Each structure stands twice: as C-alpha cells, then as structure tokens.
Structure 1
Amino acid sequence: MHYFVAFDGTRLSEEAVRRVRSMAHATDDITVATAIPDGDEEFARERGWLAEDDPFEMEAVVRSAREEALSLASAAEFDALRVGHHAPSGAIGSRLRRLVRDIDPEVVVVGSENAGHQMDAVGSVASSVIGGDSYDVLVVRHVRE
C-alpha cells in the first residue's frame, strides 16, 4: 500500500505522519510532501524551519522540513514542492494534488481542523487534496497526547 501525507509542519500534519507510520507495514510506501513558498521567511520561521537570525535560503528550509518529516517517519520519501512567494489562492493545493495524481497512492492523509466541515473553503489545501476520488482519505483532526 502507498500512503501520501500532506505535511506543513503544523501539529496536525505531524500527527498525520505519526498516524501513517503507525498504520503502515514495513513493505508499505510512505510519501511525505510539503509545499514551501519561495522566499517566505515568515512561513519558514513559524514552522521552525529557519532560525530567527538566518537569511532565507530555500535549500536550508527544505533540509529542515525534510529532517522534521523524516524524524517522524524515517522510512518515508520526502518531496518538497516550491511555490511562488505570492502564489494565488489554491496554488499549493493544486501542486499537491498533481503530485498525488503522479504518485497514485491508495490512501491520502491530511491534518486539518476544517477538512470535511468546510469542504468549499476557498484555497483550502486539505479540500483540494482530499477532493480526488481515486484514493481513500484519512483526515486527522486531533493530536493524540
């Protein structure tokens, strides 16, 4: 089985990776993907992917995001999608959905407080990714302590 996890460094996306790790068997594939706005220092700093005093360097941000994701699921593959700093609404979700189509997983996992409640939220990454019908979807809404 192949699992795809949308990861953005939030607590719910971290929990989504942990849930997949606990469900997956040793022979299953896990792909963890994140979209990183190019040059968006605030985005990277909020997620702890860029230190307060460090200048924005995309490779360093991608490396930090990869390290965080793989610390949660060491056997996973990691994909970082670069999007424009001022990407239009829905751009991140569209890029992730294209990656999902290319990977063709059986299960897509997202961490979202609103997915399923607000499916029509404009620009919602979760609603864009879970809208496909060729895979099952697991929405993680709560962090297990």
Structure 2
Amino acid sequence: MTFVVPFDGSELAEAALVRAVEYASVLDEEVVAVSVVPERKRYAREKGWIGEDESYDVDAVVGRLRDQVQALAPDATFEYERIREFPPESKLAGHIERLALEHDPSVVFLGSDNVGRVVTPLTSVGVHIAADESYDVFVVRQPEPPKVDAIEPHPEFYGREDSA
C-alpha cells in the first residue's frame, strides 16, 4: 500500500507531505505526491503559483511543484495531470482522487484547515477527497511536528521560517 498526498505547493500541502514521509519511515510505506494543474491563469493566481501580471508557464509550475516535493521527500514519487479547464472544486477533486486511486492508497494525507468541521465550505477539494471510503484520511491542519513519540520529526521542515 501507499501513502498519497494531494499536493498544490501550499504550506499545508507541504506539511501533509512531511507527515506522510514521517509515518512512512516508521511503517515502511511508499509516498506519492499527486498534483492536478489546470492550464488556466485564474487558478494559477488563486494558488499563488504566479503573480497578478505574470504569464503562466504550466511546465515551470509543474517543475516547481516537483522540486518542492523532492526537497521535502526525496524518496517520494511525484505525479501530475494537466487539465485544460478550470473545473469546480468537486471536479478538480475527482481528478485528484483518480490519480490517488491509481496507487491503491492505504491513507491519503490531506493538508487542510477546514476538512471535517461542522460547517465546511462547498469549495473545499479536501471535502470531496475525504468523502471516499476506500482509504483512510489523515488531515494535517498545522505545520507542526508530530505528537506521536515513535514518529521522528522531519529534520529540515520544522525549523524553517515559513513553517509554523
């Protein structure tokens, strides 16, 4: 089985990837980061992948996402899918989930600050991914070291200025 991490380059996605790596090292699991990259500028701007007046180079964004994954999880696999449209969150989640299911995940590690709350925004991709019952979901809400004694904290991630 495999730990899968939907990865968009955000701080919480990084935290989820790091947590997956921490657990994988103890449980001897593989880690796969999956990204769906719409070819629309609006989405890229909303994700912070490009600035307001910046042109959108999809290949460059994919390269940056791959580099982020490799920096935090050198042994992880990175897979992505380019899509032409800027779909609603539920369709985007469907693309992510399909990529995840290709790896028969035992656990999907989600970086989200709103999955599982009583009031959940309908625009959350995580809500749709967490709804699938074919795998367990580990929600990472904060970029902080694990609180499980048997899990060794990632050596570089938690000391960075842009985390926690």
Cross-structure match for 1:106: 106
1:32 aligns with 2:37: no
Bigger Cα Rg: 2
Taking structure 1 as the reference length, the TM-score comes to 0.84
Equivalenced residue count is 144
CA, structure 1 residues 46+122, in 2 after alignment: closer, same or farther (shift >3 Å)?
A: closer
**Cα distance in structure 2, aligned partners of 1:40 and 1:10:** 17
Which residue does the alignment assign to 2:131? 131
Q: Does the residue aligned with 1:24 lie in a helix, a strand or coil?
A: helix
The Cα offsets for residues 28-77 of structure 1, whole Å up to 9 and x where unpaired, read as 21110112120326626854x55787632221111111101111111111
SS of equivalent to 1:25: helix
Deviation at 1:80? 1.4
Measured after TM superposition, the shift of residue 113 of structure 1 is 0.7
2:82 is equivalent to residue 82 of structure 1: yes
Is the contact made by 2:43 and 2:86 (CA closer than 8 Å) also made in structure 1? no
Structure 1: gaps (5+ residues): none
Runs of 4+ in structure 1 displaced over 4 angstroms?
49-54
- Cα 1:46–1:126 shift into 2, 3 Å: closer
Answer yes or no: is the 8 Å Cα contact 1:119–1:127 preserved in 2. no
Cα deviation per residue 1:7-48 (whole Å; 9 max; x = unaligned)?
11111111001111111128421110112120326626854x
Structure 2's unaligned 5+ residue stretches are: 145-163
